Amino acid sequence: MFDGLEGIDGSVLEVAIREHEASRVPRLKRLWSYYRNPEEGARVGGSGWDGRFRLAQERGLPPRLTGTGGQIGLDDRDRTRREVVIENDIGWRIHTMVDFMFGRPVQVLSTARDEKLRTVLGRVLDAVWERSGGISLLQDMALLGHVYGYVDLVVRVDARALTARAGRAVGEDDAGELADHVRIEVIEPTRGVPILDPSDYRTLSAYAVRFERELNEVERVSARGIFARRGTRRIGRRRRRSGRTEVVTPFDRRVYDDGELVETEALSWTGGVTPVVHVQNLSQPFRYEGLSEVEPLIALQDELNTRLSDRANRVTLQSFKMYLAKGLDGFDRLPVGPGVVWSTDNPDASISEFGGDGSSPSEDAHIEEVREAFDKVSAVPPLAGGVVRAKIGNLSSANALKITLMAILSKTSRKRVTYGRGIGEASGLVLGALDALGVMEIAPGDRGVRLEWADPLPEDLREQTQAAKTKVELGVPRERVLSELGYAPTDAGVS
């Protein structure tokens, strides 16, 4: 199928894709299902669909709650079916981590030695990232990385369009035109299949992107089992699906539709490297995959959902008072309520009251300890998500708030290293392509970038203003200080 690839054996690529879909994809989908917790169709007896839905995290509940294993009834109408409570603690923690990482835009600045070139390259990189998606692209990259543990970026360049304008001078006003021909794309790990160099796991020999897409075409299919009526077969129609595989190497790019080669493009601008940037969420030594934020929380999520479901069943059984009547005729036909009087001639008649919700300190303590374990493992306390509790104390200053959120701030700083390296490598590939295609002369030493991250915590305007005055007094350019404060040169009164 993948014959004629330069630098990689086609049979090796086929085996790698099969192994990826057989072993890696199911694990990645499980991580996504625990983060997203979508509704899924429930099946009864292993074959029939009962028309109702279950949440994905119900898979982690014991059989006595879910109805599997023959312990309780499978039907919602069965009185023996237990109540299920799902509280997705993983989802909001992942969103909070992404907000701390890319809640505000990140400035990508060139470190070129020449000031004029540095300004032009900064404008070009800013335009490329903005046209590729801007802050939305970075947030998507962070979300996939946090869930799966890693994410990949592919740099795509329209070499023909850039070569056509080679030799012309490039200024700040040309940044948007160049950015129209360069794109940085996020690849979901379920689709990306890396082929690593046997001698260096950090080097990609090739990279395949495999997925199915729906075409704007209709095909006729046999719908046995869906449209079957009285033993006959009916023919239905549906949108045609096509399996697409894109293979990228340091030398070329090939696209296959259902195994047939449909597109080939030579990559003369890559500099001998595969134009794919690998980003680990948290670095894991000697492994291609990084550390996922979801994986260590799965067991805690199952335990929390189990205990919440048990508590719901206990409350249901004990929250209402019940009565046992002896020697009263028709007691079952009269409602229990204010003003209702029962009478009887039986001197031995009695009404006994029982039930009512009682406290369960051990249950409450266990659930609270599970939530605290969530905080420690994820490093995301409820305060980071906006839940203020009385026990946080008196936060009288920004420093006190930072101490309270020390865990998530430290983890965010650690992840800025891996994500920042990925942004820098992708920017370097873009600048290298512009040099290789003759658009701009950019030496390898001038292709570096520096990232300026915004503080994830709210800042005091008075402290910001005082810090800005100090920077101006130390000689920091006024335009840069105003940019850090959020002011653009076009704003009224700013000069």
**Is the predicted pLDDT of residue 232 greater than 70, yes or no?**
no
Average of per-residue pLDDT values in the chain: 84
Distance, in Å, from the CA atom of 197 to the CA atom of 194, rounded to the nearest integer, reads: 10
Instruction: State whether 151 and 196 are in the same domain.
Output: yes
Single-letter amino acid code for the residue at 474: L
Q: Which amino acid is at 217?
A: E
Give dist(CA 60, CA 179) in Å, integer. Answer: 47
- What does the pLDDT read at residue 150? 96
Neighbours of 353 (CB within 10 A): 10
DSSP, res 214: E
8 Å CB contact between 137 and 423: no
Decide if 382 is inside a domain. Answer: no
Q: Is 357 contained in some domain?
A: no
Domain residue limits at 196 = 10-37+90-296+408-458
Q: Which of 443, 304, 415 is nearest to 364 (CA)?
A: 304
Which percentage of the chain shows pLDDT scores above 90?
46
Is 353 or 105 the better-scoring residue by pLDDT?
A: 105
Confidence of residue 356 (pLDDT cuts 50, 70, 90): low
DSSP 301-318: HHHHHHHHHHHHHHHHHH
In a domain, 395, yes or no: no
As for how many domains the chain has, the answer is 3
Asked whether residue 74 falls in the same domain as residue 189, the answer is: no
Answer whether 0.75 is exceeded by the pTM: yes
Tens-digit pLDDT profile for residues 436-445 = 999 999 999 9
Query: Which pLDDT belongs to residue 389?
Result: 61
Residues 28 and 149 in one domain: yes
Residues 165 and 284 in one domain: yes
Q: Do 67 and 164 belong together in one domain?
A: no
| Same structural domain, 97 and 171 | yes
- Say whether both 148 and 26 belong to one domain: yes
Of 280, 239, 246, give the one whose Cα is nearest residue 419: 280
Q: Are residues 62 and 204 in the same domain?
A: no
- Does residue 130 sit in the same domain as residue 262? yes
Which pLDDT tens digit goes with each residue over 316-355?
777 777 788 888 887 777 777 777 888 888 888 888 877 6
Do 56 and 152 sit in the same domain of this protein?
A: no
